[in-house]
């Protein structure tokens, strides 16, 4: 059995938010990138992923 999740939905690794599944496209779902972040440029996405990672490490 899978671990019980505290939140419903899916984690976006770019903005660091847990969003409902409808906020993800099929491809974004596997990549952990929501539709909003998928529209950003690749450079901007990788920058935000780093910021999110640092933020998560500190909190």
Distances (CA, A) of 26 to 4, 6, 50, 51, 54: 23, 23, 23, 25, 27
Residue 37 binds Zn ion (CB under 5 A): yes
Cβ neighbour number for residue 10 with a 10 Å cutoff:
19
Residue 12 binds Zn ion (CB under 5 A): yes
Per CB under 5 A, which region of 1-9, 31-39, 51-59 contacts Zn ion?
Answer: 31-39
Cβ closer to Zn ion: 1 or 26?
26
Cβ closer to Zn ion: 34 or 58?
34
């Amino acid at each position: 059995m899978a671990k019980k999740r505290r939140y419903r939905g899916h984690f976006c690794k770019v903005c660091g938010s847990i969003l409902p599944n409808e906020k993800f496209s099929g491809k974004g779902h596997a990549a952990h990138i929501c539709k909003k972040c998928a529209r950003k440029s690749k450079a901007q996405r990788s920058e935000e992923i780093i910021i999110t990672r640092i933020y998560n490490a500190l909190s």
